[in-house]
């Protein structure tokens, strides 16, 4: 009962005029950014982050959260109409969404996507309201050693899951923690890694890294993309029959549950949720021959799972300060910039902010439904604008936003340097999100480690007396070692298979 009262209070906070306005703007901007090929929620938040500092923290976070789940639906629009997935999750939606569009059912595909997202979003927000306080209560009993271990695990999990190569992701996470060390040591006042530059004495600004390595790098990479003509859709084509809704309803419910449960896992993200929900739906359907050829349930499953996973990802983010996805890793930076430390005490220290944010998910999902059902034809027309005109404008806005925060041209050049670094890393298969997460968590990891050592009389041996922390660190270590061993075994196995083949070819000669 208390949870429902808190959720109702959060909805009242979200319904304040200023919060409603910026929630709407977040959903609208997120939808547009999500539509543009190559861009996603992380890039959108990175572009907008410097612009929301003038707002109250709760209003800014509501807007950024709206941008997050708005971008998830926006990517579906380009996936269905252009056959161009905006992110990994919409890669699943395109399997049946674009075939539906080619059959003249683009409107139905987008309508079921909007309804699935809305329905699963409502289910998962209620689940979030009940599950998050439980997680927070458990995490509240953790001391510095356990908190340090959880942060290290989150860093490795996100680093290992994002991208195709786990070790590359973990390496980027470690590099991010190194960037966090730049500047004056808070305890010894010793300058670290500043190279004598006075501009770095206070450290590297998180906004500079996020805007440079994420937003500018993506915009520069995608700016040369050629515009493709989307399949046309009309408002009257978006009407769904009772049969369509009846067939899709169980799928939406299953997708919502699967998406939320996977979203709660740190680092899992919406892509895994979408693939898993689609696979489950395909396996439990008696006649699955329609999947991949324009099956409406093939759109409902990933879309419901995607939106539910977005809300599920906020569980570890709010209660333990560990992002549940790459985008919440960027969003975690927004919390830090507003001097808000997500963790077990957040629900007690700032209940209005937390419940207002959760309540805004209900309001925002309703806005997303009302906005997208009638506005899809308008959004589709945006896809006809040449990207070489759109992306430079966003690039300039991002640079001006960086300069407006500090008023230093040094930060602009630093952001451009991180943009170049982000482009190089992306081309080499190194994900950038773990770098940002390492920068966000680096300072907190250092603080918790120092506190842990002080508890143990300046000895790391104290971790041996903390079984929970020790188990968590052991799991983190295994996540680094096991992928390396598996890759080595596979390589050796392939090598041993190739050797007999070579010997047979030599003997034949």
Instruction: Answer whether residue 506 shows pLDDT above 60.
Output: no
| Alpha-carbon distances, residue 143 vs 101, 139, 151, 446, 449 (angstroms) | 54, 9, 12, 14, 11
pLDDT at residue 162 tops 60: no
- Is 450's pLDDT higher than 80? yes
Query: Residue range 178-196: average pLDDT?
Result: 82
Other beta carbons within 10 angstroms of residue 197's beta carbon come to: 12
The DSSP secondary structure of 454-493, one letter per residue, reads HHTTS-GGGGGG-HHHHHHHHHHHHHHHHHHHHHHHHHHH
Q: How far apart are CA 140 and CA 243, in angstroms?
A: 48
Does 402 or 421 have the greater pLDDT score?
Answer: 421
Rounded Cα gap, residues 2 and 357, in angstroms? 17
Cα–Cα distance measured from residue 78 to residue 92, given in angstroms and rounded to the nearest whole number = 13
Q: What is the percentage of the chain residues whose pLDDT exceeds 90?
A: 4
Question: How large is the C-alpha radius of gyration of the chain?
Answer: 23
Rounded (10°) angle between helices 242-264 and 297-312: 30
Give the residue among 134, 155, 170 at the shortest CA–CA distance from 448: 155
How many Å apart are CA 2 and CA 211, to the nearest integer? 40
Of 6, 265, 10, nearest in space to 130 by CA: 6
User: Which pLDDT band holds residue 286 (cuts at 50, 70, 90)?
Assistant: confident
Backbone phi and psi for residue 141, each to the nearest 5 degrees, phi listed first:
-80, -5
What percent of the chain is helix, strand and coil (3-state, nearest 5)?
80, 0, 20
CA distance 206 to 42: 14
The pLDDT tens digits for 365-418 are: 888 888 777 777 777 676 667 767 777 877 887 788 778 767 788 888 988 999
Q: How far is CA 117 from CA 142, 288, 345, 410, in A?
A: 35, 22, 31, 42
Structure tokens at 382: 């945006």
**Mean pLDDT value of segment 137-143:** 71
Token pair listed for 434:
């773990």
Farthest-apart Cα atoms in the chain, separation: 82
pLDDT (tens digit, 9 = 90+) per residue, 459-480?
777 777 788 888 888 888 887 7
Q: If 0-12 CB within 10 Å is exposed, 13-18 middle and 19+ buried, where does residue 143 land?
A: middle
Query: What was the pLDDT predicted at 134?
Result: 80
Distance CA 502, CA 508 (A): 10
- pLDDT per residue as tens digits for the range 37-52: 666 677 778 778 777 8
- HSE of 252, CA atoms in CB hemisphere, 13 A: 20
Q: What proportion of the chain, given as a percentage, has pLDDT over 70?
A: 85
DSSP H/E element including 101: helix 88-102
**Is 352's pLDDT higher than 70?**
yes
Q: d(Cα 206, Cα 196) in Å, to the nearest integer?
A: 20
Q: Which residues pair with 192 in a beta bridge?
A: 183
Structure tokens at 162: 């994002």
| pLDDT band, residue 22 (cuts 50/70/90) | very high
CA 147 remoteness from chain centre? 22
Q: Which of 39-53, 99-113, 225-239, 299-313 has the lowest mean pLDDT?
A: 225-239
pTM for the full predicted model: 0.70
Choose among 148, 174, 81: nearest CA to 382. 81
Taking all residues of the chain, what is their mean pLDDT, rounded to a whole number? Answer: 79
Query: What DSSP element (H or E) covers 183?
Result: strand 183-184
Q: Residue 501: what pLDDT? A: 47
């Amino acid at each position: 009962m208390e949870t429902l009262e808190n959720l109702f209070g959060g909805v009242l906070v979200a319904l304040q005029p200023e919060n409603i306005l910026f929630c709407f703007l977040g959903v609208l901007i997120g939808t547009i950014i999500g539509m543009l090929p190559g861009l996603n929620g992380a890039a959108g938040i990175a572009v907008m982050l410097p612009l929301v500092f003038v707002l109250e923290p709760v209003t800014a976070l509501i807007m950024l959260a709206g941008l997050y789940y708005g971008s998830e639906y926006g990517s579906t629009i380009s996936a269905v109409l252009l056959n161009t997935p905006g992110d990994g999750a919409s890669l699943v939606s395109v399997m049946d969404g674009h075939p539906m569009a080619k059959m003249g059912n683009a409107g139905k595909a987008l309508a079921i996507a909007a309804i699935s997202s809305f329905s699963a979003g409502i289910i998962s927000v209620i689940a979030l309201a009940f599950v998050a306080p439980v997680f927070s209560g458990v995490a509240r009993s953790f001391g510095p050693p356990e908190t340090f271990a959880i942060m290290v695990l989150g860093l490795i999990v996100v680093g290992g899951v994002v991208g195709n190569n786990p070790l590359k992701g973990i390496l980027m996470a470690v590099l991010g923690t190194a960037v966090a060390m730049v500047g004056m040591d808070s305890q010894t006042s010793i300058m670290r890694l500043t190279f004598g530059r006075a501009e770095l004495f206070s450290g590297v600004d998180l906004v500079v890294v996020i805007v440079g390595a994420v937003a500018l790098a993506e915009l520069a990479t995608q700016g040369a993309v050629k515009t493709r003509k989307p399949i046309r859709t009309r408002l009257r084509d978006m009407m769904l029959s009772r049969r369509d809704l009846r067939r899709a309803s169980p799928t939406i419910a299953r997708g919502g549950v699967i998406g939320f449960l996977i979203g709660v896992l740190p680092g899992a993200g919406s892509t895994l949720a979408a693939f898993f929900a689609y696979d489950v739906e395909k396996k439990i359907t008696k006649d699955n021959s329609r999947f991949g050829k324009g099956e409406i349930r093939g759109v409902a499953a990933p879309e419901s799972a995607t939106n539910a996973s977005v809300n599920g990802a906020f569980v570890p983010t709010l209660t333990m300060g560990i992002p549940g996805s790459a985008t919440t890793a960027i969003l975690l930076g927004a919390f830090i910039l507003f001097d808000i430390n997500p963790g077990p005490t957040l629900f007690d220290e700032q209940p209005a902010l937390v419940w207002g944010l959760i309540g805004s998910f209900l309001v925002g999902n309703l806005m997303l439904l009302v906005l997208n059902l009638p506005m899809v034809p308008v959004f589709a027309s945006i896809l006809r604008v040449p990207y070489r005109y759109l992306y430079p404008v966003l690039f300039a806005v991002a640079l001006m936003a960086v300069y407006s925060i500090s008023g230093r041209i040094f930060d602009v050049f630093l952001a451009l340097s991180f943009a170049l670094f982000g482009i190089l890393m992306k081309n080499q298969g190194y994900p950038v999100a773990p770098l940002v997460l390492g920068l966000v968590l680096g300072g907190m990891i250092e603080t918790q480690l120092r506190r842990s050592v002080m508890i143990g009389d300046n000895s790391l041996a104290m971790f041996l007396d903390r079984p929970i922390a020790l188990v968590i660190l052991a799991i983190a270590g295994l996540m680094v070692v096991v992928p390396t061993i598996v890759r080595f075994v596979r390589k050796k196995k392939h090598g041993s298979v190739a050797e007999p083949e070579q010997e047979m070819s030599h003997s034949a000669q």
